[in-house]
Chain A
Amino acid sequence: MNKKDMVSLKNVSLKYYTLEGETHAVNDISFSVKQGEFIGIVGPSGCGKTTILSLIAGLIKPTKGEILVDGKKVEGPSTDVGYMLQQDHLFEWRTIMQNALLGLEIHGKTNRETKEKVERLLETYGLGEFKNHYPDQLSGGMRQRAALIRTLAVDPKILLLDEPFSALDYQTRLAMSDEVSTIIRKEGKTALLVTHDISEAISMSDRVIVLSKRPATIKSIHEIQLTSERDNPISRRQAPEFRQYFNTIWKELDVHVQ
């Protein structure tokens, strides 16, 4: 497989400046992500995971280094990159359909064709009959699915997922990680998933990047190869190698309960 690099970070550092001082959030990080690859990023709390995603999304500029998305230097938010936040942030005054159209509206691309496409996405992923409902009337899992469709509607090549399931209860979380990874693979997207949950990272990703404490540097990168019957997160969790990966990453994260 000789696929092209969709995302690459070259010696990226970032410092936040405030009146109180500066926070060195990211230090000299380099890695790249191939087209269609699913990358998991784990690291201690507050180490700079969200910062890395915000950098790739073009929301903040690196203090040092360079970021390329699909071969082009990142200068600001681009339509190539879709970002899914921790909370679904569906707008309560919009119906599910209107929420899903938000990105297209901002790009000025709402027309018959794109609307039909969004409708098809909603149908495909089980929200067809809820398209005229308001978010309040949906369960947490359905809301998160609607948020994913809102991100997919603008057809980004790369998806950034920042702990997208952490607001969900455990059962829903398992089911959603399964669904989301199936959807993302089916739509042929490249994805970077930030999570606190080591199992989630291993079960969903092709590679897992382990970050150090702040300022974030790359501690290690694990190529995940699991022998499971089916290639979906829930059955991947049953693979014999799963434990081994879990233990290695757990040790590297070096979590201490204070």
Chain B
Amino acid sequence: MYNKNNHKAVSKEHAEYIAKIKKRKLLIRLTQISILIIFIALWELTARLKIIDAFITSQPSRIINTLISLHEEGTLWMHISISILETIVGFILGTAFGTAIAIILWWSDFAAKVADPYLVVLNSLPKVALGPIIIVWIGAGPFAIITMALLVSLIVTIITVLNGFLEINPDKIKLLQTFGATKLQILKKVILPASIPTIISALKINVGMSWVGVVVGEFLVSKAGLGHLIVYGGQVFKLDLVMTSIFILSIAAVLMYQFTAWLEKKLIKWQN
């Protein structure tokens, strides 16, 4: 914006400096890509030379073949989209409910104090342990899986966002009070806008959390989705299928993370 205008004239030294930084960045990126390529190549090569047992370790070319055959069977997209959908709903609900509860706890200091020990216990409890109970209560289906994804991220979200609220400089609130602001105005004008970065970072973390919930949920329900493919592949000893699912899983997770990073940029436009 306004900074750019100031940087029009670049001296020779400055240009050299920029070139140096850029070169370094490029080198880092190239090294990263090379590591990946070498890893895949070694994997393929050692499997072909029968140094490793491709039956157990799978191999890149088999993964591609599995991808193609899954695609031809027509079930690939079904599994992928079910998992992605469950994850998205899970992390959005987890973040939304978590933020809503954090707002309630911010509003009532009494409620926050009362809830404190429960939050501590629930936070240290591995939520996936509740899986079987959830399935019994809700039924073995996508709703149980979404509930798992939600639960995994809910408590952390409440704690992170509430702490974010409480860390806001009290003088910012005092400033609003001098204008005679009501509690609702304080919430809308300071607490929420000041916490957007916190909420988005919670959202980012929740993407990963939600995947954990979904995969474990699909392990347990085992009807559809990438988690189901992994469990099924393991049971029938089709390690190609397991590896392929993990491969898709990582791509989907990365894409979702990129999306939240993009969202962050959009929403926090006052930071460059």
Contact = CB atoms under 8 A, between A and B. Distances in A.
Interface of A: 57, 59, 76-79, 81-83, 85-87, 89, 91-94, 102-103, 105-107, 133-134, 136-137, 154
- Please name the 3 residue pairs, one residue from A and one from B, whose CB atoms are nearest each other, closest first: A83-B178, A77-B180, A134-B270
B194 interface: yes
A186 B1 CA distance: 34
B253 interface: no
Contact of A107 (B172, B180, B270, B271): B180
B2 A137 contact: yes
A85 B185 CA distance: 19
Contacts of B194: 91, 93
A87 B193 CA distance: 19
A252 B196 CA distance: 49
Given A77-B177, A93-B193, A102-B179, 7 more contacts: A59-B178, A85-B171, A91-B193, A93-B268, A103-B179, A106-B181, A137-B3
A161 B186 CA distance: 22
Contacts of A78: 180
Interface of B: 1-3, 169, 171-172, 174-181, 185, 189-190, 193-194, 196, 268, 270-271
A154 B181 CA distance: 13
B179 A85 contact: no
A89 B171 contact: yes
11 contacts: A57-B178, A59-B174, A78-B180, A91-B189, A93-B194, A93-B268, A93-B270, A94-B193, A106-B180, A106-B189, A133-B2
A81 B177 CA distance: 12
Interface centre among A59, A83, A91 (most CB of B within 10 A): A91
Contacts of A82: 178
Given A89-B169, A91-B172, A93-B270, A81 B193 contact: no
B179 A107 contact: yes
A76 B268 CA distance: 35
Contact of B174 (A85, A92, A107, A134): A85
A116 to B, nearest CB: 20
Contacts of B1: 133, 137
Contact of A77 (B179, B190, B271): B179
Nearest to A150: B175
Nearest to A85: B171
Nearest to B182: A106
Nearest to A134: B270
Contacts of A59: 174, 177-178
Contacts of A79: 180
A56 to B, nearest CB: 11
A76 B174 CA distance: 13
Contact of B175 (A89, A94, A133): A89
Contacts of B176: 102, 106
Nearest to B186: A106
A200 B231 CA distance: 74
Contacts of B178: 57, 59, 77, 81-83
A185 to B, nearest CB: 22
A206 B174 CA distance: 28
Contacts of B268: 93
Contacts of A133: 1-2
A106 B179 contact: yes
A93 B181 CA distance: 19
Contacts of A57: 178
A92 B169 CA distance: 13
A69 B193 CA distance: 33
Contacts of B190: 91
B270 A136 contact: yes
A251 to B, nearest CB: 33
A57 B174 CA distance: 11
Contacts of B270: 92-94, 134, 136
Contact of B179 (A91, A92, A154): A154
